[in-house]
Amino acid sequence: MCGIAGVYGLEGIENPKQTSDLLIEAIGHRGPDAHGAYLDSEVILTHTRLSIIDLDARSHQPFIDPEGRYVLVFNGEIYNYLEIRKELPDYQFKTNSDTEVLLVAWKKWGSECLKKLNGMFAFSVWDKQNAELFLCRDRLGIKPLYLYQDDKRILFSSEIRSLLNTGLVPRKLNGSNLEEYLKYQTVHAPRTMIQGVELISPGSFLRISDNEIERKQFWNLTKVPLAAGSNKDQVHKSIASLLNTSVEMRLLSDVPLGAFLSGGIDSSLIVGIVSERLNKKIDTFSVTFDEQEFSEAKYSNLIAKKFGTNHHEIALSQDDFKEAVPKALLAMDHPSGDGPNSYVVSEAVKKSGLTVALSGLGGDELFAGYPFFKQYMELNQKRYLLSFPKYARNLVTQIIKLKYPGIKGQKIAETFTLPYFDVPHTYPINRRALSDKDIKDVLSNYGGADSLFQDLKSILNWQATGNLPELSKVSIAEISTYMQNVLLRDTDQMSMAHALEVRVPFLDHRLVDYVMGIGDNIKYPRFAKSLLIDAYKGLLPDEIIHRPKMGFVFPWEHWMKNELKDLCISSLDYLENETGYFNQGSLYNLFNRFLAGDKTVSWSRIWPIVALGTWMKNNKVE
């Protein structure tokens, strides 16, 4: 795992070496083991290395082919590189790295090699002979890659901060994306919060020449083959086979590797696969707390004992977590309503000696683990409600709001007034943070457009997904929005802040393809992730399968009203008085409603705004 950055078009850059150093400086934490740069008259390519596969210095990057035509900088892992290497018998390899295999594969097949790769990656190839730069990002968007273009040059990097650090990218907020951020606690690729900077879309690559960009997609989440037949036993066997293989591939490492173990279904299942199905010993790590209401130690210990892992408990206090919050905000490369939890866990695991960790991220999105999956299917059975007169539906919404006076009631009522009960209309309400009314109250320039609705309408158009099962459409919405633009982005920036590589077996593209094609009758969640549990019947104890979902349930509300109150006020004050985007007094009014216990303004609605203001201050964003 590493960091990459570069520039195409050096006209007007008086000191390319200095620019190279500035790019590296801002992403040095991603790769503390080695730094390298390639410069010629047209490009700068830089790399910071976290050594995982083949620790030899010959595998340092930038990696140049023997003829000197191609130069590669690569962030990520190619898990099937040994298989690909067998397809290249004519080449005399100098290293045992996946980096060299990737470069040779590019030399032989060009961009067609992307279809052969199984892994998480963001990389750039400079073709010196044709003066072409290629930028590529993995299918599921596990590894980030940001791009900035002006009339003179193109810059790219694993992190926005690296682009800003050069002084070549203006530190200007993209105010047109503020509504989206406030509504969904993030903005969705290709959009970002920095003007002129985009996040390259997952499963795509760019060919850049003479400051012209050609974009191509090599994988599409909606274009998947339907699973053959409807035999449940065969589906269960196929899922188990694909996931077992995915986990086994992700155990490849030349440095200490372990697994996060929260005691939830996904992390427990991965540990069970390694220990029982693959018959391998693994180190497991769980974070524990003295406060029993926050600790998952009971469940993680149960799994560790069952599978005989070398288990490590990392004890954290609430004070430890509170002290880490400002550091987590400082490590935030792009603002988000999440992140501090991942920061704390990654820091603790790295200090315990781990360099690579397996994570259960993606299990909920693939196997209908969130409540909305079942809610959506139930809503689909009530389409007759759409025929009710408008006045009747409005009356019902008032009753709903009285019965459920908080956020839940707001969302149910809004759903009831929709023109359609399809995914593009219903899903955005499910993931919404602030309401349209609250956003209109706080923003000085409110447009009212919903970019996520438009995104989903485009992604889930009938031509692309007409034959897909309904639950798979929900999965596509979850994966392409919340998972990619909150969970994966936060996992990357917070784990790499500590030079920790996180691998996600559930996001093997072959498993994703297969599960997307499984019919609703088989995938329907009788209970959360029942299909996944059925595929591994008997592997996990009932105490894990039917335990209450916890996650990190720290008392954020209490902290933001007490210990973190000054931080909140400082951030809101900055947004109101220094940016020009917010109505005077509006954010304080929102915060005071939260302080007063207004059920429609929870802490999770306020925290993304606090994170935004702190991020802008930390990064001097205008």
pLDDT, one tens digit per residue, over 273-296 is 999 999 999 999 888 776 665 567
Given a cut of 80, whether residue 398 has pLDDT beyond it is: no
The helix or strand, by DSSP H or E, that contains position 342, with its residue range, turns out to be helix 340-351
Please tell me the predicted confidence (pLDDT) of residue 193.
96
Query: Which residue in the block uniquely carries the two structure tokens 């070496």?
Result: 17
pLDDT, one tens digit per residue, over 471-528 is 999 999 999 999 999 999 999 999 999 999 999 999 999 999 999 999 999 999 999 9
Please tell me the predicted confidence (pLDDT) of residue 129.
95
Given a cut of 90, whether residue 553 has pLDDT beyond it is: no
User: Which of 3.40.50.2020, 1.10.10.60, 3.60.20.10, 3.30.700.30 would CATH assign to domain 2-217?
Assistant: 3.60.20.10
Which residues, 6 or more positions from 84, have their beta carbon under 8 angstroms from its beta carbon? 78, 101, 105, 113, 116, 117
505: closest CA among 360, 368, 354? 360
Given a cut of 60, whether residue 438 has pLDDT beyond it is: yes
- One-letter amino acid identity for 188? H
> What residue ranges do the domains of the chain occupy?
2-217, 232-367+474-545
Please tell me the predicted confidence (pLDDT) of residue 384.
79
One fold for both 2-217 and 232-367+474-545?
Answer: no
Mean pLDDT along residues 529-539: 95
565-578 vs 603-618: helix crossing angle, rounded to 10: 60
Given a cut of 90, whether residue 182 has pLDDT beyond it is: yes
Are 139 and 202 a contacting pair, CB within 8 Å? yes
**What's the pLDDT band for 36 if we cut at 50, 70, 90?**
very high
pLDDT, one tens digit per residue, over 186-245 is 999 999 999 999 999 999 999 999 868 999 999 998 887 776 567 899 999 999 999 999
Given a cut of 60, whether residue 551 has pLDDT beyond it is: no
Instruction: Choose, from 2, 113, 136, 568, the residue flagged as catalytic.
Output: 2
Please tell me the predicted confidence (pLDDT) of residue 456.
82
Mean pLDDT along residues 60-79: 95
152: closest CA among 320, 11, 322? 11
Which residues, 6 or more positions from 554, have their beta carbon under 8 angstroms from its beta carbon? 294, 318, 321, 341
**What's the pLDDT band for 591 if we cut at 50, 70, 90?**
very high
Given a cut of 80, whether residue 403 has pLDDT beyond it is: no
Please tell me the predicted confidence (pLDDT) of residue 345.
84
- Which of 248-257, 274-283, 321-330 comes out lowest in average pLDDT? 321-330
State the chain's mean pLDDT as an integer: 90
Q: Which of 289-303, 320-334, 444-458 has the highest mean pLDDT?
A: 320-334
Mean pLDDT along residues 521-537: 95
Which residues, 6 or more positions from 14, have their beta carbon under 8 angstroms from its beta carbon? none
pLDDT, one tens digit per residue, over 2-27 is 999 999 999 889 999 999 999 999 99
- Which of 277-281, 343-347, 357-361, 407-411 comes out lowest in average pLDDT? 407-411
126: closest CA among 142, 113, 107, 153? 107
- What percent helix, strand, coil does the chain show, rounded to 5? 50, 15, 35
**What's the pLDDT band for 322 if we cut at 50, 70, 90?**
confident
2 is catalytic: yes
* Spatial separation of the C-alpha atoms in residues 518 and 236, rounded to whole Å: 11
Please tell me the predicted confidence (pLDDT) of residue 70.
97
260: closest CA among 333, 324, 309, 332? 309
Given a cut of 90, whether residue 529 has pLDDT beyond it is: yes
Given a cut of 90, whether residue 144 has pLDDT beyond it is: yes
Given a cut of 90, whether residue 449 has pLDDT beyond it is: no
CATH number, domain 232-367+474-545: 3.40.50.620
* Spatial separation of the C-alpha atoms in residues 468 and 462, rounded to whole Å: 9
CA-based R_g, the chain, Å: 24
Please tell me the predicted confidence (pLDDT) of residue 554.
65
Q: Which regions of 60-181 does DSSP assign to beta strands (E)?
A: 63-64, 70-78, 119-127, 132-137, 146-149, 154-157
Please tell me the predicted confidence (pLDDT) of residue 496.
96
Given a cut of 60, whether residue 546 has pLDDT beyond it is: yes
Tally of CB atoms within 10 A around 51: 20
Q: Which of 134-138, 456-460, 513-517 has the highest mean pLDDT?
A: 134-138
Are 47 and 61 a contacting pair, CB within 8 Å? yes
pLDDT, one tens digit per residue, over 407-434 is 777 888 788 888 888 888 899 888 988 8
Q: Taken in order 334, 503, 146, 452, is the CA torsion positive or negative?
A: negative
Are 261 and 301 a contacting pair, CB within 8 Å? no
- Which of 49-63, 321-335, 448-462 comes out lowest in average pLDDT? 448-462
